[in-house]
Structure 1
Amino acid sequence: MERPSPQALALATLRAYYDALNRHDPVAAVALLDEDVVHEVNQGPREVGRAAFLEFLQRMEACYSEHLSDFRFLCAQDGSHAAAEYTVVGEYIANDIGMPPAQGQRYRMPGAAFFTLRDGRIRRVSDHYNLQEWFSQVAQA
């Protein structure tokens, strides 16, 4: 059986990662990460390691109900770097640290992430979205 190209392996890993997030299965998402994964939280701290990433995802699951769609992926031919752009459709369901009170506010906005990968494992995730736009949508609800 022919081994997939590094680019195909990286793209399959990203699809599996986002499939896990959309299934609301943080454990499956974290299983695709390198042990020492670096997570650059949107407008937040840099976190290192699977345990920190799992804690982040569990907090997200508790506070937000989100579905990601309309994916567009870019990937280096050697599979070492990739980017994803998508649409976030969500509901703010429970108060999150440092955020306004949750009252079931709904939002829809673009999001993106940049990745470093090696051997089918995600080594770095850098999440990006417009926090001011999120605040604006949550305030209007």
Structure 2
Amino acid sequence: MTALEIVQQYYTYFNDKNWQGMLSLVDPEIRHEPNQGDARIGIEQFTKFLEHMDESYEETLTDLVFFSEPTQTRVAAEFVVNGVYKKGEDGLPEARHQTYELPAGAFLEVKDGKITRVTTYYNLPLWIQRVS
């Protein structure tokens, strides 16, 4: 599979809630750079992140558009996050199963058939406004 196909499959697994499928596509030393906070390094930390997100949010991505560059090592994705805020987090509004739509994007690196980096961006103040 090309880098683009790997990333497309990764997001298909996301929408299918197939966390094991997602994990099968990432490198054991995955670098996850979230919108807020420190980077997570390694599949164990990334797995914990996925579990936490599954517990706190119900999300599906729509309007997915992918961009790749000539060396086929980096892929960008643009999408809309359609979600339900299920469980509150420290410093964020109370969760009452509010729904939200939020534009977002991600940058991914692929090496030797595995995703080695995922960097995600979205507008946190806009999300807070939508769930408040």
- Aligned-residue identity in percent: 35
Query: Number of matched residues?
Result: 132
CA shift in 2, pair 1:101/1:110, >3 Å: same
Aligned with 2:84 (options 87, 91, 112)? 91
Aligned partner of 1:32 in structure 2 is 25
The AA in structure 2 aligned to 1:58 is E
CA shift in 2, pair 1:98/1:30, >3 Å: farther
CA contact (8 A) 1:79 1:118 kept: no
What are the superposed Cα offsets for residues 40-70 of structure 1, whole Å, 9 maximum, x if unpaired?
Answer: 0112111100111111011101010110011
Aligned with 1:103 (options 78, 96, 101)? 96
- TM-score computed with the length of structure 1 as normaliser: 0.89
Aligned with 1:69 (options 54, 62, 66)? 62
RMSD of aligned C-alpha atoms? 1.1
Offset of residue 79 of structure 1 = 1.0
**Structure 1: which 5+ residue stretches go unaligned?**
none
**Structure 2: which 5+ residue stretches go unaligned?**
none
Distance 1:30 1:98 in 2: 28
CA contact (8 A) 1:64 1:93 kept: yes
Distance 1:78 1:128 in 2: 23
The structure whose Rg is larger is: 1
- TM-score computed with the length of structure 2 as normaliser: 0.95
Aligned partner of 2:128 in structure 1 is 135
Following TM superposition, the consecutive aligned residue runs of length 4 or more in structure 1 with deviations greater than 6 angstroms are: none
Distance 2:19 2:44 in 1: 11
Distance 2:119 2:46 in 1: 12
Offset of residue 27 of structure 1 = 1.7
